[in-house]
Amino acid sequence: MQKKNYAAIIVLFVVLSGIGIGLWKQQAKYTVDVDITPEQRQTFEQRVEEWDEKIDSTPAGEQPNPDYFIEKARYQEYLGQYGAAIKTLQSLFDYYENSSAAWNNLAKLYEKVGRPRKAIENYQKLIDVFELYQFRLDIAWNYYRLGNIEKAREVYQQYQSETGGRDEELEYYFEQAAQ
């Protein structure tokens, strides 16, 4: 009986370690060098710590202010720590079901790290939950980046009909793709 318990504990440890390593690799993968002064780096690192302390010091049973996550992620982004910023924004959803600011920032970060499908998912949540139809333009651009011109056109037409907006640059690219 004890051998089974030890085996289960070992399996659980290996699985959890693998998840932790995967998250660490994702953070390391999405780190870029940024052109900032040592003073700026120090300031931004201090801001990350300050926002982290605010999140951690939230009284038990209460939810941390969502702005704490948004601000922490912003300074992580300034430091070029895109993976960490993504993780910070995702952790906001441990406390809140919806956040337009978090989904928008996540979408922008996913664009920066070259993950257009993840960007589309987050933009789509803004439309589905908050009816922010202007984000269809961002979705159209991401489909274009994926090389799915037909889907990009379809989404762009929805954007136009819902908002009356236009994007001459995207229209130019559609024309070029048709030739």
**How much is the pLDDT for 13?**
46
For residue 63, the 8-state DSSP code is: P
**How much is the pLDDT for 19?**
44
DSSP secondary structure, 6-47, as one string = HHHHHHHHHHHHHHHHHHHHHHHHTB------HHHHHHHHHH
Q: Dump pLDDT digits (tens) for 10-50.
A: 444 444 444 444 444 455 588 999 999 999 999 999 999 99
What 3-state class would DSSP assign to 81?
strand
The whole model's pTM is what?
0.83
**How much is the pLDDT for 103?**
98
**Mean pLDDT of all residues in the chain?**
89
Question: In sequence order, which residues have a C-beta less than 8 Å from that of residue 87 and are 6 or more positions away?
Answer: 23, 26, 27
**How much is the pLDDT for 29?**
81
- Please compute Rg for the chain using Cα positions: 20
Q: What share of the chain is helix, strand, coil (3-state, %, to 5)?
A: 75, 0, 20
Residue 46's φ and ψ, nearest 5 degrees, are: -65, -40
**How much is the pLDDT for 20?**
45
pLDDT < 50 positions in the chain:
7-25
